[in-house]
Structures are given as C-alpha cells and as structure tokens.
Amino acid sequence: MKELVVISGKGGTGKTSVVAALARLAGNCLLADCDVDAADLHLVLAPRLGEPRDFSGRSQAILDAGRCTSCGLCAEHCRFDALAMDPPRVDPIACEGCGLCVRLCPEEALSMEPVVNGHWWISETDWGPLVHARLGVAEDNSGKLVTLVRNEARRLAQERALPLMLVDGAPGIGCPVIASLSGASMVLMVTEPTVAGRHDLSRVLDLVRHFRLPFAVCVNKHDLSRQQTRSIEEEAQAAGALFVATVRYDPAITAAMVEGRSIIDVTHKGAATDLVDLWKRVEAALDAIPAGH
C-alpha cells in the first residue's frame, strides 16, 4: 500500500479541493482527513457517516467538594490559576491537566479524569472509506488525534486490501503536520503564487526534506501570477521535487464546492483537465517508489 499525503504551507490554498479531485480520479482508495482542527473533506465527498467515537487526548482535574476543606494549597501552587476556593471549584478551561493539585491535596479531594476533546468517524464514500475527525472548540492535542486517524486509516486500508491511502494533511509545519507525514510514501505540497504562499512553501520544503520524503509540488491558481509561479518552480526543482504541476484558476472549483462535489464531477474542462494531468503524474511517481518506502 502506498500513502500520499497532501499538505500546504497555509490554509486556503485549495489543498482539500485537490484531495477531493484525486480521490475521485484514484477510485477505490482509503481516505483520511488529518486536518482535524478544520476538517472539511467530508463536505465535498458527502460520505455516509458512521457512528461518532470519542477522542480523549488529556485528563483534567475533578474536585470532590464534599471532601474539600478549602485549605487553598492547590490554588496556591496552580500556575494556571485553574482552582479557586470561594466556593471550591476547578476552571475546566484553565486546567492544563498537569496533576500537581492531585499530588498536593491532603484530603484527596482532587482526581484526574479523561475528558472528551473531540470525535472521529469511519464513514463510507463512493470512492472508498473515509476516516475523519473533529477536534472540539479550543481543544488541544490535535497531533494525537491526527495519529489516531492515521493509525485507524492504515489498519482499515490493510484490512480491505486497498492499494492507496490518500491523506488530507494539516496546513503549516507544526505537530499536526508532522503527525500527518509519519509513514508517508510521498508528499504533495499545494501552494499558490503569492508572496505568502511562496514563503510558507519554503518552510514546508525544509520540513519534508528533514524527514527525507519524496515530494512533488502543485501550484494552484498558477495563472494569477506567472512570475511567482516561475519562482516557485525554480525553488521546488532546486530542492529536489519529483515534479512541479500547475492548476489554473477556475470558478468551477468554487461552484463545485458550493454543491458539495468535486470539480471532476461537474466538468471535464478547465482546472479539471489540469487535475487529471496531476493525478497521472502522481500515479506514475507513486508507482516508481519502491514498495514499503
């Protein structure tokens, strides 16, 4: 099984639209949405949702008011100001789950319990199963949730003997992106021909080369600035990209998103032809990568 991870240096470059098109062109594959902070691949693929499953990435202090004597020892030492004594209570937003208060409490009135930070699903699409998740508002540990999604997706792909795992990765270069890249066969970076897009791409290139992963670059809406596109192509080729592909600006992509569909489903012209060419190059590059890479 080969794993293609699609990432971008920033949000809004069209990464998910590219993934949706590749999913449509690849056919039977395993899909994983690892952009758990803002998961939206399901909006385009319209899956048949599976049962939601809880995700817990941390624990939180719980106070037993009946045992608390309001000595104030826990509140005095909590560096996050998550505890108060009048009346005794724990602020669930401020609590970081470090557990120091539990160790200090002489009455054992505090305990640590797992909290639900989000949910994840195994859903079905017309092009293969989709493993996706949603992190709760202001919740952390998205890297752990990404790892859970990837592990479940990999397990399911092996169980169903699917030849390709297509991952919609997180934008940027932080922990969720690193978790998205783990075990990838190839990385496709989607950028746009702007100063910000070029800057963010350079950071992503450094990250991917650090992990020594084969990578390709796609310049979305390349015709908005041909000068920036040429600069990106030169930088990517100098960095060792397998290839640099371009996709033209096309309002049909936005129109397809509004309908909750991939552009491949609504037209065979414009950017759709560019995406077909992109998939052919991706498929050839994946075939050239040795199995087990």
| pLDDT tens readout for residues 191-210 | 999 999 899 999 999 999 99
Q: What are the pLDDT digits (tens) for 245-257? A: 999 999 999 999 8
What does the pLDDT read at residue 86?
A: 85
Cβ atoms of 196 and 212 closer than 8 Å: no
State how beta strands 186-191 and 215-220 pair.
Answer: parallel
pTM above 0.85, yes or no: yes
Task: Say if residue 101's pLDDT is above 80.
Answer: yes
Average pLDDT for 96-121: 94
Alpha carbons 103 and 78: distance in angstroms, whole number: 12
Other CB atoms within a 10 A radius of the CB of residue 81 amount to 10
Q: Is the pLDDT of residue 293 over 60?
A: no
Average pLDDT of the chain to the nearest whole number: 92
Tens digit of pLDDT for each residue in 170-183? Answer: 888 988 899 999 88
Q: Tell whether the model's pLDDT for residue 122 goes beyond 60.
A: yes
Please report the pLDDT score of residue 292 as a whole number: 59
Q: Which residue has the higher pLDDT, 100 or 257?
A: 100
Per-residue buried b or exposed e for 25-56, using 16+ beta carbons within 10 Å of the residue's own CB? bbeebbbbbbbbbebebbebbebeeeeeeebe
The one-letter code for the residue type at 129 is P
pLDDT of residue 80: 94
